[in-house]
Amino acid sequence: MKRLTIEQLLGVDKFVVDDEQPHIKVNKEICSACKPKPCTFACPASLFSIKDEELSFDYAGCLECGTCRVVCPNAGVAIDWNYPRGGFGVHYRYG
Partner 1 sequence: MAEEKFTAIVVGAGPAGSTAAYVLAKGGHDVVLVERGTAPGSKNMYGGRMYSHALSRIMPGFWEEAPVERPIAQESITFLNGGQSVSINCRNMSWAADPYHSFTLLRAEFDAWLASKAEEAGALLACGIRVDELLMDGGKVIGIRAGEDEMLADVVVAADGVNSLLAQKAGWAKMFAPNQVATGVKQIIELPAETISQRFQLEGNNGAALLFVGDCSNGMQGGGFLYTNKSSISLGLVINVGELQRCQVKLCDIMEDFKSNPHIAPLIEGGEVAEYSAHLVPEAGLAMTPQLYGDGMLVAGDAAGFVLNLGYTVRGMDFAIASGEAAARTVIEAKARNDFSRRGLSRYVDLLNQSFVLRDLEAYRKAPEFLENERMFKAYPKLVTELASKLFTVDGAPPVHLMKMVLDRIKQSSISLIQLARDGWKGARNL
Which residues of the chain form contacts with partner 1 (CB under 8 A)?
1, 3-4, 6, 9-10, 12-13, 16, 36, 38, 40-46, 63-67, 69-71, 73, 75-76, 82-87, 89-95
Nearest CB to partner 1, comparing residues 22 and 38: 38
* Residue 55 beta carbon to partner 1: minimum distance, rounded to whole angstroms: 15
Rg (CA), the chain: 14
Helix (H, G, I), strand (E, B) or coil at 2: coil
Q: What is the DSSP string of 35-74?
A: SS-THHHH-TT--EEEETTEEEE--TT-----HHHHH-TT
* Residue 92 beta carbon to partner 1: minimum distance, rounded to whole angstroms: 5
